[in-house]
Amino acid sequence: MRAIRNWAGNISVRPRRYTEPRSVDELKEIIRSSEKLRVVGSGHSWSEAIVTDDTLVSLNNLREIIEVDAERKQITAQAGIELSEINRELDKRGLALKNLGSIATQSLAGAIATGTHGTGVDFQCLASQVASFKMLDADGREHSFNKTDDNFYAMLIGLGGFGVIYEMTLDVTDAFQLREISSGRDFDEAIDDLDRCLAENDHVKMWWLPPSKDVVLFAYNRTDDAANDSRFRQWFKDEFISVCVYRTLSLAGLLHREKFIPPINRFLTRQITKPLDRIERSYKVFNVPEPPPHRETEWAFDLADAKNLLREYKKLLASNGFTYNFIQEIRFSKGDDFWLSPAYRRDSIWLGMYNKDRRDWDKRLANFEAFARAHNGRPHWGKEFTIDARYLAAQYEKFDDFRRLLKSFDSSGKFRNNWLNTIFT
Ligand SMILES: Cc1cc2nc3c(=O)[nH]c(=O)nc-3n(C[C@H](O)[C@H](O)[C@H](O)COP(=O)(O)OP(=O)(O)OC[C@H]3O[C@@H](n4cnc5c(N)ncnc54)[C@H](O)[C@@H]3O)c2cc1C
């Protein structure tokens, strides 16, 4: 069997059997006949979530839209569908997802299973848009869960540990436009002004290219005004600057990192901080051009401590001796009730560490993780983190309940891989 690699190329899986069932009945048979099994979505996670040497199942062929109920504002789809397909289908019918992350090429179930989030202090992770889901257990038996079940909150962000989710119903909303205003802002001033900025805007995020003094501050708000984005702007900023210039310069910086990357980052910051004011369909504003493969870790911290955290974060990345040839992203989300959500019952600020240059990655990660742990961060399950089961257990009120439920629901451990075993030792 050839190796299957994840999107970033840092994980390679050589399962004994790789399969893409064409029906739910076929999926049941595969589950029943496997000793060990993991599911892969679109392979966009950096963590070892999909690694197995036994059976790896993809729901690539289970990606139909089952129903769009315009009156109830719900869409039901098979779990292997890509989020982008949902966006297109909803848009045709005057509907939309309420919030999204920065890309939509993940599978529906895969994005939900790791707690994928977008940005907005009044917006929870994507799982909060799920009204109900259907899952097959280790014996291939069907289960349905909705928001009235405790297991809904336990198993939806389930890291692939409880079974194979094959169908989901999402609550959606009327299609809407977002006005995106972005411009450069001195990082320290942006921190001082954070409370006002979060209070006045639906969705806020920041991009930073260390050690630049400025960040790009993005604010998205709902508007009834018509879309006005120009094709030329999209090509120039989203393709020429964001893809061609950005990629070429960040590669050129590798020739002599310490010397070239700081001035390149300052030059790029000047390009991307030019003020922008545009109105577009929501999903086109939430999503950004697909970035080049890179390494990434991202953690959720207590929003109440955001200003202090941002000052420390800025100090850390600007002076820890490393250079960064990738944009560092800062986002926000509302607390939720999913047992293993990094934003479990805590409004959150998300801080990450991103780099295209893979050299020294382990040292960079250790450096960032020391900061994250000192501030009670909770790692994104789909991104990179060093597993420390004791630390994780202390961060999640429901960690032991989750572990017990994993053991009782999948008593044979069919869906366990080393990654889950190490987290839940
Ligand atoms: C370019 C890029 C941008 C990203 N942007 C964001 C962002 O804005 N916000 C954010 O929070 N994250 C973001 N991510 C992370 C990404 O959303 C998560 O890692 C997500 O889990 C990937 O979805 P996937 O379909 O590729 O799932 P995979 O990575 O293939 O799998 C993830 C997990 O889901 C499980 N799983 C998959 N399908 C099923 C199923 N049918 N039933 C049960 N379990 C299942 C797998 O077993 C695994 O544990 C980004 C990733 C990339 C590469």
Please write the tens of the pLDDT for every residue from 281-294. Answer: 999 999 998 888 99
Q: Which of 31, 34, 40, 44 to mutate to test the pocket of ligand 1 (most atoms within 8 A of CB)?
A: 44
State pLDDT tens for residues 308-347: 999 999 999 998 889 999 999 999 999 999 999 999 999 9
**CB contact set of 40 (below 8 Å; sequence gap of 6+):** 4, 13, 50, 56, 57, 58, 110
Distance between CA atoms of 28 and 32, rounded to whole angstroms? 6
**CB contact set of 212 (below 8 Å; sequence gap of 6+):** 187, 265, 266, 269
pTM of the model: 0.96
Q: Which residues of the chain carry a pLDDT beneath 50? A: none
- DSSP letter for 292, please: P
Q: Ligand 1, atom 37: nearest CA belongs to which residue?
A: 110
Instruction: Name the token pair of 259.
Output: 């010397």
Distance between CA atoms of 393 and 93, rounded to whole angstroms? 44
Distance between CA atoms of 338 and 344, rounded to whole angstroms? 6
Q: Which of 6, 13, 45 to mutate to test the pocket of ligand 1 (most atoms within 8 A of CB)?
A: 45
Distance between CA atoms of 380 and 296, rounded to whole angstroms? 10
pLDDT for 241: 67
CATH level 2 (architecture), domain 177-379: 3-Layer(aba) Sandwich (3.40)
Segment (H or E) for 179: strand 177-186
Q: Note the Cα 422 to chain centre separation in Å.
A: 22
Instruction: Give the torsion sign (CA, 112, 118, 121, 122).
Output: negative
Q: How far apart are the first and last CA of the chain?
A: 30
In terms of Cα–Cα distance, which of 156, 8, 56, 110 is closest to 417?
56
Check if the beta carbon of residue 158 is closer than 8 Å to that of residue 381. no
Q: Which of 106, 283, 356 to mutate to test the pocket of ligand 1 (most atoms within 8 A of CB)?
A: 106
Distance between CA atoms of 107 and 105, rounded to whole angstroms? 7
Q: In sequence order, what E strands does 109-148 have?
A: 130-136, 142-146
Distance between CA atoms of 207 and 195, rounded to whole angstroms? 17
- DSSP letter for 35, please: S
* Protein residues whose CB sits closer than 6 Å to any atom of ligand 1: 7, 38-45, 49-50, 59, 79, 101-103, 106-107, 109-111, 113-114, 116-117, 159-160, 164-165, 290-291, 380, 382
Say how many residues make up the chain: 425
How do 203-208 and 328-333 pair as beta strands?
Answer: antiparallel
